[in-house]
Amino acid sequence: MKLPPLNLAQILEGFREHSAAVLDLTDEFSDLHDDTAQSPALVAEAMARLVDVLQRIERDHSDRCGDLPFREPTRNDTLDVSELGEYGISLLAEMSAHATQLGLDDDARELQSLCFPMAVWIGRHGGEIRNLGQVVNAIAESAKQLHEPAELEHLSRCITEVIDAVAPKFRQDPDNPDPGRPWRALLISHGNIATRSYSPHLMEQAFELVVHYLPGDARSFFLEGMGQMDALDYPQHVRAVMQRFADQWCDRKTLH
């Protein structure tokens, strides 16, 4: 499995491909058909219209700015991208839920995975990511399917873009006592993926985010990381980075 597509046309193509069976089944069996606002057919129509709107946002920027670097978005731009992107993630999650209910587990996973590239798009266009739980689930699914360090390095870089775009309400970590909160899961997952990429630079970036935002988790994170170094036979340059952070955050006698 490769990373999910990172442009809107491919996101829509993937959505259509993996929602086709859902639509076929709801057409074939009347007892599965739902004429409410949450029906698969209406979700599919809404996604097509949304992607058209998002593509117009891209074209509008291109027409105004040409080859210039992306301009600083205005408040209205940010609101539009954030709200539309949040809506897109919710549509992907709805169709994934429909697929799960119909026993189409592979399609459900693929639809869920598209929440990640939608989040990357939001971040690249100046928006805030507000539906973080769905995005974290999509990242976790992608990470399970990737094994090559180069693929994991690309994934890690994209996750950094997502982290940078996360809405302030998550960064403030109001649900700190909950170990399953999406903000914590995102940062821990990012640290693990950066480690699997074998990139010292990406590891350092990810680890600094862990110690900055999750100081209460740092010791256990690095202790577990040191345990994985031998268990999975990581190369020496990866071990060196993990050892350095572990020495800072753990009792030395527990590391050797």
pLDDT per residue as tens digits for the range 163-199: 999 999 999 888 888 889 999 999 999 999 999 999 9
Ranges in the chain, pLDDT < 50: 36-37, 68-71, 75-76, 253-256
**Quick one: which H or E segment has residue 194?**
helix 182-196
What is the CATH code of the structural domain delimited by 1-134? 1.20.120
From first CA to last CA, the distance across the chain in angstroms is 37
CA–CA separation, 92 vs 88, rounded Å?
Answer: 6
Q: Is there a contact between 156 and 115 (Cβ–Cβ < 8 Å)?
A: no
CA–CA separation, 220 vs 212, rounded Å?
Answer: 15
The closest alpha carbon to 94, from 44, 141, 163, belongs to: 44
CA–CA separation, 253 vs 177, rounded Å?
Answer: 28
CA–CA separation, 125 vs 77, rounded Å?
Answer: 9
CA–CA separation, 145 vs 109, rounded Å?
Answer: 11
The pLDDT of residue 35:
52
Amino acid present at 61: H
Query: From residue 19, how far is each of 39, 95, 112, 210, 221 by CA, in Å?
Result: 12, 7, 11, 36, 38
- The sign of the torsion formed by the CA atoms of 184, 185, 187, 191 equals positive
CA–CA separation, 54 vs 244, rounded Å?
Answer: 44
Q: Is there a contact between 8 and 54 (Cβ–Cβ < 8 Å)?
A: yes
Where in the chain are all domains bearing CATH 1.20.120?
Answer: 1-134
Q: 81-85: long-range contacts at Cβ-Cβ below 8 A with a sequence spacing of 24 or more?
A: 81/57, 81/122, 81/125, 81/126, 81/127, 82/122, 82/127, 82/128, 82/129, 82/130, 82/167, 84/50, 84/53, 84/54, 84/57, 84/127, 85/54, 85/118, 85/119, 85/121, 85/122, 85/127, 85/129
pTM assigned to the model: 0.86
The pLDDT of residue 129:
96
The pLDDT of residue 52:
93
Q: Is there a contact between 146 and 33 (Cβ–Cβ < 8 Å)?
A: no
Q: Is there a contact between 103 and 22 (Cβ–Cβ < 8 Å)?
A: no
CA–CA separation, 40 vs 100, rounded Å?
Answer: 12
The pLDDT of residue 70:
47
- The sign of the torsion formed by the CA atoms of 47, 3, 112, 218 equals negative
